[in-house]
Structure 1
C-alpha cells in the first residue's frame, strides 16, 4: 500500500470514528458529576471493613465482594496507585483498559465513569473522586525502567514486579496480567496523541472510591508513574480503606450515565444472576 493510500485509509477511519463518537456522545449526559470536594463523602466508621497504608514502592492484594468499595487516598500527594482487577470466579475475565476507553469514548476516568472487563461487563464504578487526574494509557515502570530513571539500586521496587507478585498471591502468573490503569497520575493527551505529565495537579488528601460490581480480586501497586518528572524515587504513602456495600439507588449515575454503561451493567447483572 502506498503512502497516499495509507493516508486516505487513516482519514476514512478517522471520519468513521468521529461519526460513531458523535452518535454515542449525543446520547450521553451533557456533563459528568463534579469532583468530590475533599471535605465531602466522609467515611462512617461503621462502614469500614478494614484500613491500611501501602508504603511507597509496595503493593497489596484485596478480595472485594459485590458492592463493597475501595477507597484510595493520596495521603501526601505523591503516590500513584496502579490497579488491576480480575473476576474472582473466573480470572480469565480481567480489567480491560482499552475497552474502558473505547466504550466510553474517553481516556479520562473520573467520578461517574466505569471500568470494563474484556467480556463487556462492568468491574468497577467510580463513585467518588476528588482528583480526576488518572491515567489509562502509559502503564507502569518495570525494573529496567526504574533503573534507567532513578539509578540501578536493587532496593527500588517497580510496578511490573509488584503486579507479578500480587498476581502470584491469587494463583496467577505473568500471563494473567493485562495493561493496568493508574489513579493519581495527571497525564494529558495532546491532539497528536503525545502523553505529558501535568505537574502540580496532585494534592495531599485526594481520594478516589471505586465500587465492585462483581466479586473481584484486586491488586494495587504504589510506585512512581513512568511520566512523573521528579528525579527522585519518592512515592508517598497510599491510604487504603475497604468499605461495606450499601444500597444502590435505581438512578445511580454510574449505572445510567451512558447507553454503553447501561448495556455493560445489563451484561453484568445477567452474569451475576446466572
Structure 2
C-alpha cells in the first residue's frame, strides 16, 4: 500500500535547497515521494539503473507506451532497454512535463540573452552531482522529467513555459521496479515562470 504514507515513517528524508542538486538511490519495491514544499517549483529528474547506469529513463519509450506527452498517476517510466523502472502510484498535482528539458548555459543564452549564459542551470546541477558521485558523467545526461512544471503544447505543436500548476505540499509518488539512482536538479531558473521566478526548496522521502 503506497497511499497515505506518513512522513514520520519514512526510511529516508532530505530537503533539497532551492536551486541545488541531489543524487540518491531507491531500491526495488521502495517508494519515493518528491514533494513541492512551497509550491510552483520545477524539479528536473533523471533515473538510472543502479546495476548498470547506462540503462536510464527513456522519454521516447515512456511516451509511446502510454500515448500521452504528460506523466501522471498510473504512468510507467521505461528505460532505454525497454524495461519498467518506476510507476507513479500517487500524484496530487495532476501532470508533469516530459518535453521541456533541462535549462543549460546554451538554452539560457538562446531563450533569454547573452548575459544570462552564466546563470546557474539544471545541466550544471546534474554535472556537479555526477562529478561528486563518480558513477555518472556528462554522456549520461539525457532528456529528463520536469515534475510539477507546466509546459503546454500549443495547437501548432510548439511548447510554452507557463506559471506552475503545483502548490505547497503537492507531491508525486513513485514505486521502483528496479534499483535506481535518482538525479535531481531543484531547478534554479529565474528567467521564466516555471518557478514563479523564485526557486524554493523541495523534499525527497523514501519508504521501504
User: Greater strand percent: which structure?
Assistant: 2
Q: 1:126 to 1:230 in 2, by over 3 A?
A: closer
What is the aligned length? 203
More RCO (CA 8 Å, sep 6+): 2
Distance (Å, rounded) in 1 between the aligned partners of 2:59 and 2:36 = 22
The equivalent of 2:123 in structure 1 is: 160
- Going from structure 1 to structure 2, the CA distance change for 1:75 and 1:102 (only over 3 Å counts) comes to same
Partner of 2:201: 237
Aligned to 1:173: 137
Matches within 5 A, 1:10-159: 41-43=4-6, 45-46=8-9, 48-146=10-108, 149=112, 152=116, 156-159=119-122
**Post-superposition CA distance 1:209-255 (Å, at most 9, x none):** 111110111101111469843797521110111111xxxxxxxxxxx
| Structure 1: tracts of 5 or more residues without a match | 1-39, 245-274
The answer (yes or no) to whether the contact 1:140–1:225 under 8 Å persists in 2 is no
RMSD value over aligned CA atoms? 2.5
Q: TM-score, normalised by structure 1?
A: 0.67
- CA distance in 1 between partners of 2:178 and 2:165 (Å): 32
Could you tell me how far apart the structure 2 residues matched to 1:67 and 1:231 are?
31
Q: TM-score, normalized by length of structure 2? A: 0.87
What is the distance in 1 between the residues matched to 2:157 and 2:189?
18
The reply on whether 1:216 has 2:180 as its aligned counterpart is yes
Aligned residue in 1 for 2:158: 194
Identify if the C-alpha distance between structure 1 residues 200 and 58 changes in structure 2 by more than 3 Å, giving closer, same or farther. Answer: closer
Q: Deviations over 1:150-209 (max 9, x none)?
A: 85496x421001112223314221111211111010121123211123425221111001
Larger radius of gyration: 1
> Partners in 1 of 2:170 and 2:104 — Cα distance?
26
List 4+ stretches of structure 1 deviating above 3 A. Answer: 144-154, 224-228, 230-233
